[in-house]
Amino acid sequence: MTKDHRISIDQSILILGQGHFVRSVAIPLSEEMEELASIFDDTDEDDHFEISARSTPQAFLTELGGLAAVGVFLGTWAAKTALDEIYKAAIRPRIIKVIENFVNESQDGKYYSTAISAKSRSDKNTILVISIGRTIEEIESCNDLVPEAFEIGISEIAAHPDGTIRSYVIEDGVIRFGGCYRSRLAALNALAKAMTPIGPIRSIRNDS
């Protein structure tokens, strides 16, 4: 049986945040990911992250001002080394490029976040890694730990493969387990709600 060594970039992005963050980030990040996806293998028909049917997004006005999430599909977790290289050289710079000016110019004192999810086609498990900070420097410091968070997730999947989305949150140089969910949106909404919920904000999925 031939092993699947393909790596594909999801052209769909997931943006959660206040309206001005969504308007500033959604289109340029979508364009960046479309361009990057064209370099890699095409996605399969059943390559998707959400296990449950799509529903109306819920989000909360919290300390989290905005979050931008992208995704990758792997043949198996054995492609983790390649994933680390692609994240460092191609994915991470593109996300930071898009949100850097917004975060630097923001005066609201809120947290901002980048996130990457990876799904294995072989076992259908997904790892979602979320980096949080008030400044680009803080976010980038957390991004340095993304490969380590994936390593933790892969080890836990090997012990307990359950087909869910495992969330890991990196903040202040610490990686913590965020829980298991049926969709990325549920995981991100749980994070937003936990950060002092006050009222409704806007959350969108951008399917190109």
- The model's confidence at residue 49, banded by pLDDT at 50, 70 and 90, is low
- Taking only the tens place, the pLDDT of each residue in 71-107 is 999 999 999 999 999 999 999 999 999 999 899 888 7
Considering the entire predicted model, what is its pTM?
Answer: 0.87
Cα dihedral across residues 64, 206, 70, 161: positive or negative: positive
